[in-house]
A and B are shown apart, each in its own frame.
Chain A
Amino acid sequence: SQTIHQWPATLVQPVGSPLSLECTVEGTSNPNLYWYRQAAGRGLQLLFYSVGIGQISSEVPQNLSASRPQDRQFILSSKKLLLSDSGFYLCAWSVRWARSSTDTQYFGPGTRLTVL
């Protein structure tokens, strides 16, 4: 069966510090991978998605970046955190099909980031 892991579970960082959040998927190959942010009182905002190693699409301009160094590893980074980067970060995966429409996305447990 497939599982998705995220770490750390919680993180408190000062403004201006760097960030690295990791997401790994087990039990599947060539997944689509996604990073979302959920801020207080808001819905899920898609930040990045990837259909393969080294292929990253950015949905919103910001000081965050994503990388996919391995097939089942997705990393969210920042060189300098802002207060507005606080939130709950969720990673998700889905099966990659030839057709363009998406398949069910399965979410990780999330990382709660607080920037002070």
Chain B
Amino acid sequence: SQELEQSPQSLIVQEGKNLTINCTSSKTLYGLYWYKQKYGEGLIFLMMLQKGGEEKSHEKITAKLDEKKQQSSLHITASQPSHAGIYLCGADRGTDKLIFGTGTRLQVFP
């Protein structure tokens, strides 16, 4: 099984709807990174969470890291077609490396 599980694997929502993507780790996280990827392109860094209970927002995207530092959620409010893409979480294990989840593919239709 994956060290880092993302759910759902794919999501299709109507424009204007809210949605949540989850990222669950089997181990304690030193840090949790969220990235967005458009098909065929590189990853765009969204935000990073380090402290248990931490919450960060950027425009209409909010990410939280739970107190036990083993789960993170990414919430998009009033989704737009520009939010479409693949969302990936990456876990810092306290080394120089990140472990990535398998991604959540988001489609937003008008």
Report the Cα distance A49→B99, complex, angstroms. Answer: 13
Q: Are B100 and A101 in contact (CB under 8 A)?
A: no
Chain A residues engaging chain B, CB cutoff 8 angstroms: 6, 32, 34, 36, 42-44, 46, 49, 51, 59, 88, 90, 92, 94, 100-102, 104-110, 112
What total of chain B residues lie within 8 Å of the partner, measured CB to CB?
A: 26
Report the Cα distance A51→B102, complex, angstroms. Answer: 25
- Neighbour of A108 across the interface among B2, B35, B42, B88, CB < 8 A: B42
Interface Cβ pair total, 8 Å cutoff:
63
Chain A residues, Cβ within 8 Å of B35: 107
Q: Are B98 and A43 in contact (CB under 8 A)?
A: no
Q: Are B103 and A102 in contact (CB under 8 A)?
A: no
- Neighbour of A101 across the interface among B30, B90, B99, CB < 8 A: B30
Nearest CB to that of A51 among chain B residues? B96
Report the Cα distance A6→B40, complex, angstroms. Answer: 13
Chain A residues, Cβ within 8 Å of B44: 107
Q: Are A46 and B98 in contact (CB under 8 A)?
A: yes
Report the Cα distance A100→B96, complex, angstroms. Answer: 6
Nearest CB to that of A42 among chain B residues? B102
Report the Cα distance A106→B99, complex, angstroms. Answer: 14
Report the Cα distance A102→B2, complex, angstroms. Answer: 20
Report the Cα distance A59→B100, complex, angstroms. Answer: 14
Q: A49-B97, A101-B30, A102-B97 are in contact. Are A112 and B40 (CB under 8 A)?
A: yes
Nearest CB to that of A41 among chain B residues? B102
What 3 A-B pairs have minimum CB-CB distances, sorted nearest first?
Answer: A43-B102, A44-B100, A107-B42
- Neighbour of A105 across the interface among B30, B40, B90, B103, CB < 8 A: B90
B12 interface residue, CB < 8 Å from A?
no
Q: A102-B31, A102-B92, A104-B33 are in contact. Are A46 and B42 (CB under 8 A)?
A: no
Q: List 14 A-B contacts (CB under 8 A).
A: A36-B100, A43-B88, A46-B97, A49-B97, A59-B97, A90-B42, A94-B96, A101-B94, A102-B31, A102-B92, A102-B98, A105-B90, A107-B35, A110-B40
